[in-house]
Structure 1
Amino acid sequence: MVERQEQVAPDAITTRIGQAVMLHHAGDREEARDRLLKLWAEIGEDGAPFHRCTLAHYMADTQDDPDAELAWDLRALSAAGELTDGRAAGHRDELAVRAFYPSLHLNLAADYARLARHDAARSHLRLARAALGTLGDGSHGDGVRTALARLEARLDGADPAGGDTPGPPGQRS
Structure 2
Amino acid sequence: MTETPAAPDPIMDAIGQAVMRGQNGDTAAAREAMLDLWTRIGVTGDPLHRCTLAHSTADLYEDAAQALAWDVRALDAADAATDERVQAHHAGLAIAGFYPSLHLNLADDYRRLGSFEAARAHIDAADQAAPALPEGPYGDLIRSAIKEVAAAIGEKDTAPRPSAPGAGAGG
**Match of 2:75, SS?**
helix
Task: Name whichever structure is richer in helix by fraction.
Answer: 1
2:135 is aligned to: 137
Deviation at 1:165, TM superposition (A): 4.0
In structure 1, stretches of 5+ residues that fail to align are 1-6
| Correspondences of 1:2-151 after superposition (within 5 Å) | 8=8, 11-84=9-82, 90=85, 92=87, 95-151=93-149
Partners of 1:35 and 1:96 lie apart in 2 by: 27
For 2:125, the aligned partner's letter is L
Structure 2: where are the runs of 5+ without partners?
A: 1-6
Could you list the per-position Cα deviations for residues 86-131 of structure 1 after superposition, in whole angstroms to 9, with x for gaps in the alignment? xx76261694432111000000000000100000001000100011
CA distance 1:22–1:170, change in 2 (3 Å): farther
How many Å separate the matches in 2 of 1:157 and 1:164? 13
Contact 1:105–1:125 (8 Å) recurs in 2? yes
TM-score when normalising by structure 1: 0.82
Residue identity matched to 1:20: A
1:56–1:72 contact (8 Å) kept in structure 2: yes
- The aligned length equals 159
State the distance in 1 between where 2:142 and 2:123 align.
11
The superposition leaves residues 29-52 of structure 1 with CA deviations (integer Å, 9 ceiling, x where unpaired) of: 111100000011111111100000
Q: How far 1:140 sits from its partner (Å)?
A: 1.0
- Quote the RMSD (CA, aligned, Å): 2.6
- TM-score normalised by the chain length of structure 2: 0.83
Q: Aligned partners of 1:169, 1:76: CA distance in 2, in Å? A: 16
Higher relative contact order by CA 8 Å / sep ≥ 6: 1 or 2?
A: 2
Deviation at 1:63, TM superposition (A): 2.0
Whether contact under 8 Å (2:55, 2:70) holds in the other structure is: yes
